[in-house]
A and B are shown apart, each in its own frame.
Chain A
Amino acid sequence: MNQLENNIQNEMTMLYELSMATGTHIDLKENCNHFIRILKSRKNLTAVGLWIYTKKMNPDTTGNIKLITSVPQVLFKNDYIKEEHKLIEYLQHKPYIVLPPIPEWADIIGASKTKKDPGHLALFRLSHIGFISMFSYRTGSPFTDSFMKKMSGVIRKMAVTIEGSLAHGKSLKEIEQRKLVEQKLNKMNENLEQMIIQRTEALNQAQLAMIHQEKLASIGQLAAGVAHELNNPIGFISSNFQVLQKYTEILNNFVQQIQDAINTNKDPAHETPAIKELSNNITAIRKKYKISFIFKDIESIFEESEEGFQRVISIVNNLRSFSRIDAESEMEISNLNDGITSTLVVANNEIKYVSEIELDLKDIPSIECNAGEINQVLLNIIINAAQVIKSDESEQRGLITIKTWSKKESVFCSVEDTGSGIPEKNMNQIFNPFFSTKAPGEGTGLGLHISYNIIVNKHHGTLVAKNTGNGAKFTLSLPIKQKKGDADV
């Protein structure tokens, strides 16, 4: 075989191998990389790069040509070149160009980095998709016209496979984007569900808190209603009672005068039989009905009833005071000691069977507050104390000690009981909403939470709880004057 035949055979086998190296992978980078590796190796080139117009990969990015893959990477200066590059303009109307790699083209192949100049540079146009750049340091040019012409067919085939890879990449991108949107949507749905659950829970909590507060407020309204309804009958009963007392006194005088008259006319000289009989009858009736005793007893009945009336009047007054029915505005000047007194009247029924009350109420200044709400707090704490003592099931009666005092710009009130105290593990949670150690249905777990809100958040005071060793002690403080603008809270 002569040299010419040998060359033809070599070229044919190389073209066959290169032709078989096109479209070996559907993935763009793999497809291009496999092809340029075989081209570089078989043709014994220094470097090969494959470039594609960015608009072919993403229609939104125009003006550049991107280096998709290269071997070796180290010789390529840039990943991108401009579409207006002079070499690209040359290449527009030719399938290939062969030229020396002068520094002007260094952005396509970093010739300046290499050790031997000038070498040989060739570009193959990849249809309208991009181009392949080839660089060689070999002494004789490997890019003969004969080779370049024969190779053009393989390059055209490669361009078709790249179009396939690009279409595949586009489909993958679309699928990926669709997946992302779906994932986003699913995430949003999940978030929405979570939000609905959270909001519903918050709404339920708010509703329960509102119901509880309404309950507390209705105690005040009930007290106000009862006080109002009792006021009128107590008025006329009291008025009638005074008239009745007066009439009874008159009747007593009248009966006494009759008796005196009988006693005066008992002189036998003047006593007629009729008078004697009448006198005897009256004496008999008087004895029979114990009239003297009745008139004496009426006095003590009136005295006892008077005391009863005073108590009823006091209760009604305290109920009015507890409910603040007469308050002209939300914030008013009120004395905490009065609030304690009236609250104890309202709570009396809860306390009287289980505990004694010991009061140590110092002379304290009146404070600016929503007295109705402060009374609700006191009622809560005092009833809690009574319930804790009751739950101990001890035969001994408990003791609730209520103290008030003032210091600097605040007044203080402590309610101390002789119950079982607060377990230490619960100490940090007692003011949390819905925290309760009572049996289900017996407590909402909102009483202390609402009390804390009223004292701390609305009145800028403090409310703390601690164990004393004999039970629990709640201490609240309230500023004498609310800061300006706080009255609207």
Chain B
Amino acid sequence: MKNFETCYLKPQTEKEIINKLKNIFEDNAHILLLIGEENKPDIQKLMQLALDSGLKICGGIFPGLILGDSKYMEGIIAVRLPKEANPKLIQDLSNLDASHFEKLMKPLKTSCASMIIVDAFSTSVEPFLKNLNDTFGPLFDFIGAGAGHLTLKQEPCLFYDNQFVQDAALLIPLAKHHLSLGIKHGWKRLSGPYVATHTEKKRIYELNWNNAADFYIPELEKLENIKITPDNFYDVCKSYPFGLFKDGFEDIVRDPISFKSGEYIECVSEVPENASLYLLKGTTSSLIDAAMKATDAATLGVSGTIEGLFIVDCISRVLKLGNEFEKEIHQVTTSINNNKINCPVFGVLSIGEIATYAYSQTELFNKTIVIGAFHDEST
């Protein structure tokens, strides 16, 4: 069987899923299961059946899935991982100190590519990425996704080795593969800069020395000409995220998801204190155009054969683009075809995207599309 060979399984009983996996994936390689949160199977049961059948499965639960140019909110995408895949489930991220992390990562200290799936609702994703950066620097290329449910509540969402957990990360190093990455979002600056004069992790308390919520919400009300309430906040602000300046590259998007009047705005990821933020606005065409650019960045210039394309597309882009989202993935597959690439294309609609940025560091992005092209060492 080929590396990254994929199949889509509609919702069905756990036994049927395992039987189909056994029939499709005949060798002993690990199988990555990307599971849509709607009508998801009983994971514990699935793991037990897999164990009984001698199947090595790992994976996560996501708001949605991508296979080729189709989007699914339910079902499973099964991916046959390369033989050298050596998954590692890192649990209890909130209590993981640097020395323990170093010990966990010691066996992995050789240059290679790696997939990574994290619990998007763990409060310790960024400290975990900081540890990854300190340990590996640019020696590893990571592509990853935030797993979880659209209820925005923290629940078990990662599984491997008969364990179904939350507050964890699933690392899948592929020692014999290289990774070429494309990271784009297409959001453009609308106004700013606004200095985030007081922040604490994901919460912005002050913008330009004023209360953040009191500063941001009137801006939104002016732009959309409607009254913002906690109930309609996300519907409006999903079109106006913040941009964090990064020298030489697109601004990093920080996605506001809630606010407390007179106190703070809460984002999906951390905002550094004293960083300058811009108010961003995206259009359907700029976002879709970004998807094409990300595809080109990942696939053009790769000298050898690409064995698999992993797409991590933010669920908030789906929410923003609505019915036009199909165009975005269609654009991705068109670019792939234009670039004459013939390989499995699979992906997830994620809550936060992870990628190693321009040989610099591994970052957590919001509202971004990340495309990773896996190619083997010989290429």
Which A residues are closer than 8 A to B by beta carbons? 9-10, 13-14, 16-17, 20-21, 38, 40-47, 71-75, 113-116, 136-138, 140, 142
Contact = CB atoms under 8 A, between A and B. Distances in A.
A20 B274 contact: yes
A13 B137 contact: no
26 contacts: A10-B245, A13-B193, A13-B245, A14-B276, A16-B274, A17-B274, A17-B275, A41-B361, A44-B246, A44-B247, A44-B248, A46-B360, A71-B137, A72-B136, A73-B135, A74-B136, A75-B137, A113-B139, A114-B138, A114-B139, A114-B359, A115-B111, A116-B359, A137-B358, A137-B360, A140-B248
Given A10-B245, A44-B358, A46-B360, A38 B272 contact: yes
A362 B276 CA distance: 112
Contacts of B109: 74
A21 B195 CA distance: 13
Given A115-B111, A137-B360, A46 B247 contact: no
Contact of B360 (A10, A20, A45, A113): A45
B250 to A, nearest CB: 11
Contacts of A43: 247
B274 A72 contact: no
A42 B196 CA distance: 14
A17 B273 CA distance: 8
Contacts of B248: 44, 138, 140, 142
B247 A74 contact: no
A236 B234 CA distance: 135
Nearest to B251: A10
Interface in B119-176: 133-139
Nearest to B109: A74
A13 B133 CA distance: 25
Interface string B270-313: 00111110000000000000000000000000000000000000
A10 B247 contact: yes
A113 B111 CA distance: 10
Contacts of B193: 9, 13
B134 A71 contact: yes
A72 B359 contact: no
A46 B362 CA distance: 11
Contact of A17 (B138, B276, B358, B359): B276
A138 B358 contact: yes
Contact of B276 (A16, A71, A140): A16
B357 interface: yes
A73 to B, nearest CB: 6
A135 to B, nearest CB: 10
Contacts of B358: 44, 137-138
Contacts of A72: 133-138, 361
A113 B195 CA distance: 37
Contact of A44 (B133, B136, B249): B249
A459 B193 CA distance: 100
Interface of B: 109, 111, 133-139, 193, 195, 245-249, 272-276, 357-361
A38 B135 CA distance: 18
Contacts of A21: 274
A50 B311 CA distance: 37
Given A9-B193, A17-B276, A142-B248, A137 B137 contact: no
A142 B247 contact: yes
A43 B247 CA distance: 5
A72 B132 CA distance: 9
In the A-B complex, the 9 residue pairs with the smallest Cβ-Cβ separation, listed nearest first, are: A72-B137, A13-B276, A137-B359, A20-B274, A74-B137, A17-B274, A13-B193, A44-B360, A43-B247
Contacts of B272: 17, 38, 41
Contacts of A9: 193
Contacts of B111: 115
Contacts of A17: 195, 272, 274-276
Contacts of B276: 13-14, 16-17
Of listed B109, B133, B193, B359, residue having the most chain A CB within 10 A: B359
Given A73-B137, A142-B247, 10 more contacts: A10-B245, A14-B245, A42-B246, A71-B134, A71-B137, A72-B137, A73-B135, A116-B359, A137-B360, A138-B358
A47 B137 contact: yes
Contact of A115 (B134, B135, B274, B359): B359
Nearest to A137: B359
- Identify which of A43, A73, A74, A115 gathers the most chain B CB atoms within 10 Å of its CB: A74
A467 B136 CA distance: 78
B361 A40 contact: yes
A139 to B, nearest CB: 9
Contact of A46 (B246, B274, B359): B359
B247 A42 contact: yes
A468 to B, nearest CB: 68
B360 A74 contact: no
Nearest to B277: A13
B103 to A, nearest CB: 15
Contacts of A138: 248, 358-360
A46 B245 contact: no
A74 to B, nearest CB: 5
